[in-house]
């Protein structure tokens, strides 16, 4: 995988997680107390820094072949989950991920929660809400950056892509002071799901001892093939629903009293 592909894959995947974390922090700060929410963000980042400091050297110590087999399997699991949800949402079988709705729900819950001061934190609820959001979503960002970077022997570039994605999303969130509802998150999740499955398949096979024809160039075939498969699933699901609806309508019409024969 070249540097551009690595940067793009990490950037898109981390941007999705950053949108969700930013929505949570905005809700905590807007409804409760910005100072407490920002202290929660700082505490969450400190925890993430410790996790990255511990996992980074550990990953680089693992033999590359074993690392690619392990990471490839994990990426396949994550990628299949993301692609499955994206296909279900695109075909209408699952509600679209609505950041605006999530923001309103978080806002309502935050306003109803009791206020409690703990030490220098004036509002413990705002602190914990921001802390949990940053840690949970941040762990996924760290995992993506570390695994992609370690596999390609370029953790620095993966880290730059992850930080860039987070900074872009946070900057937009601060500028509009609202959830990033216009971000085509389902499209992003579809693309990231395809990329995770592609890289997971590629690295998993290499870790198992297989050799791809053309080496990294095989990804130029894997990615569009898996994307086409996902789009085919979306089209099939929509066609099946349309056929089922038409069949139901015909059956209802045929059984209705006074229907002309």
- pLDDT value at position 260? 46
| Whether the predicted pLDDT of 153 surpasses 70 | yes
> Would you say residue 87 lies in a domain?
yes
- pLDDT value at position 173? 81
Region 162-190: mean pLDDT is 78
> Would you say residue 248 lies in a domain?
no
> Would you say residue 55 lies in a domain?
yes
> Would you say residue 73 lies in a domain?
yes
- Categorize the per-residue pLDDT at 177 as very low, low, confident or very high, splitting at 50, 70 and 90: low
> Would you say residue 259 lies in a domain?
no
> Would you say residue 158 lies in a domain?
yes
Region 161-180: mean pLDDT is 82
Region 208-228: mean pLDDT is 85
Number of domains present in the structure of the chain = 1
CA-to-CA distance for 5 and 226, rounded, in angstroms?
16
Kindly report which listed range (58-67, 142-151, 193-202, 247-256) carries the lowest average pLDDT score.
247-256
What mean pLDDT is reported for the chain? 79
- Categorize the per-residue pLDDT at 243 as very low, low, confident or very high, splitting at 50, 70 and 90: low
Report pTM: 0.63
| Whether the predicted pLDDT of 257 surpasses 60 | no
DSSP structure class, residue 94: S
- pLDDT value at position 98? 61
More confident residue, 256 or 151: 151
Tell me the backbone φ, ψ of residue 118, rounded to 5 degrees. -130, 110
Query: Domain range spanning residue 119?
Result: 3-241
DSSP codes joined into one string, 98-162: -HHHHHHHHHHHHHHSPP--BTTBS-HHHHHHHHHHHHHHHHHHHHHHHHHHHHTT-HHHHHHHH
The answer to whether residues 39 and 125 touch, using CB atoms and an 8 Å cutoff, is no
pLDDT > 90 fraction of the chain, expressed in percent and rounded:
11
> Would you say residue 137 lies in a domain?
yes
> Would you say residue 256 lies in a domain?
no
Beta bridge partners of 118: 121
């Amino acid at each position: 995988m070249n540097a551009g592909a690595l940067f793009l894959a990490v950037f898109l995947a981390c941007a999705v997680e950053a949108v969700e974390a930013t929505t949570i922090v905005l809700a905590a700060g807007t409804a409760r107390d910005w100072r407490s929410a920002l202290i929660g963000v700082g505490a969450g980042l400190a925890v993430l820094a410790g996790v990255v400091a511990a996992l980074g050297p550990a990953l680089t110590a693992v033999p590359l072949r074993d690392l690619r087999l392990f990471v490839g399997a994990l990426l396949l699991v994550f990628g299949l989950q993301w692609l499955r949800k994206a296909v279900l949402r695109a075909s209408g079988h699952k509600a679209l991920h609505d950041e605006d709705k999530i923001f309103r729900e978080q806002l309502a819950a935050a306003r109803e929660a009791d206020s409690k001061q703990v030490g220098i934190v004036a509002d413990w609820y705002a602190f914990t809400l921001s802390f949990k959001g940053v840690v949970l979503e941040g762990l996924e960002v760290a995992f993506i950056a570390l695994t992609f970077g370690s596999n390609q022997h370029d953790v620095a570039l993966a880290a730059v892509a992850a930080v860039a994605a987070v900074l872009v999303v946070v900057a937009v969130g601060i500028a509009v002071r609202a959830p990033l509802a216009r971000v085509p998150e389902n499209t992003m999740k579809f693309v990231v799901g395809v990329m995770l499955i592609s890289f997971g398949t590629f690295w998993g096979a290499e870790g198992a001892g297989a050799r791809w024809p053309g080496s990294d160039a095989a990804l130029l075939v894997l990615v569009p093939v898996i994307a086409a498969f996902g789009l085919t699933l979306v089209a099939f699901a929509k066609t099946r629903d349309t056929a089922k609806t038409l069949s139901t309508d015909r059956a209802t019409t045929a059984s209705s009293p006074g229907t002309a024969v």
